[in-house]
A and B are shown apart, each in its own frame.
Chain A
Amino acid sequence: RKEVEQDPGPFNVPEGATVAFNCTYSNSASQSFFWYRQDCRKEPKLLMSVYSSGNEDGRFTAQLNRASQYISLLIRDSKLSDSATYLCVVNPQVGGSQGNLIFGKGTKLSVKP
């Protein structure tokens, strides 16, 4: 079983749609969780951290379920500019002391006019 698994997509949605991405991780001791965004041929950039209580940043909502080892990202009212690959990321280290991250393969989103 891969350490971080995501549906690779692609997800093709119209502008204004709501889209949800899911991710599972295998290491139950993992401490920190993130969603990164990566545009084509660019470097990954931090989109948001993920907390058990759920957190929201504008149109983006992230959720963590530690019991199920499941992470989600919801994008509401999608824009053309949301088209990118979304990477689910886990820091497996206790206390996050090492800082090396485990990335999923990414889910490609394409928002169409």
Chain B
Amino acid sequence: DTGVSQDPRHKITKRGQNVTFRCDPISEHNRLYWYRQTLGQGPEFLTYFQNEAQLEKSRLLSDRFSAERPKGSFSTLEIQRTEQGDSAMYLCASTLGGTIRGYTFGSGTRLTVV
């Protein structure tokens, strides 16, 4: 296991469509985080899981967004009825406990809504 992997790397979708992204964390990491990064901004926290439990959600995570981590391993982030403002890089990170030093980001999924 070489790191956090995200799929797909790029996604272009039409406004109003639903999209789903996947994140596979480092296998022994029990915490998984989703961030969103728009051009010229730093990553912004969306939500995080400890094992399969979703423990915190940012106010940025509107009702159109849902995240799951059903077996405490991989996670999915779904965006329903996409809007142009959803265009961003969606980054996943994992860590063991809250150890920041072990906080590893995936390469991200770049979403473009047209």
- A: which residues have CB within 8 A of B? 4, 8, 32, 34, 41-46, 49, 87, 89, 91, 93, 96-106
CB distance from B54 to the nearest CB of A (A): 12
Asked if B100 and A101 make an inter-chain contact with CB atoms under 8 angstroms apart, the answer reads yes
Most A CB within 10 A of own CB, among B101, B105, B108: B105
- Given contacts A32-B100, A49-B100, A105-B42, whether A100 and B33 have CB atoms under 8 Å apart is yes
Asked if A104 and B42 make an inter-chain contact with CB atoms under 8 angstroms apart, the answer reads yes
Asked if A106 and B105 make an inter-chain contact with CB atoms under 8 angstroms apart, the answer reads no
Q: How large is the interface on B (under 10, 10 to 19, 20 to 34, 35 or more residues)?
A: 20 to 34
Q: Among the listed stretches B13-21, B43-51, B65-73, B76-84, which one makes contact with chain A, having 4 or more residues with CB under 8 Å of it?
A: B43-51
- Given contacts A96-B98, A99-B31, A100-B33, whether A106 and B42 have CB atoms under 8 Å apart is yes
Asked if A96 and B100 make an inter-chain contact with CB atoms under 8 angstroms apart, the answer reads yes
Residues of the A chain whose Cβ atoms lie less than 8 Å from the Cβ of B45:
100-102
- B: which residues have CB within 8 A of A? 31, 33, 40-45, 48, 55-56, 91, 95, 97-101, 103, 105-108, 110
Asked if B56 and A100 make an inter-chain contact with CB atoms under 8 angstroms apart, the answer reads yes
CB distance from B39 to the nearest CB of A (A): 11
Complex Cα–Cα for A49 and B102 (A):
12
- Given contacts A8-B40, A98-B56, whether A43 and B103 have CB atoms under 8 Å apart is no
Top-10 shortest CB links A-B? A103-B42, A99-B98, A43-B105, A100-B45, A103-B43, A96-B98, A105-B42, A87-B42, A97-B98, A104-B42
**Which of B33, B97, B101, B108 is the one whose CB lies under 8 Å from A49?**
B101
Most B CB within 10 A of own CB, among A4, A32, A96, A101: A101
Asked if A99 and B48 make an inter-chain contact with CB atoms under 8 angstroms apart, the answer reads yes
Residues of the A chain whose Cβ atoms lie less than 8 Å from the Cβ of B91:
43-44
Complex Cα–Cα for A104 and B37 (A):
11
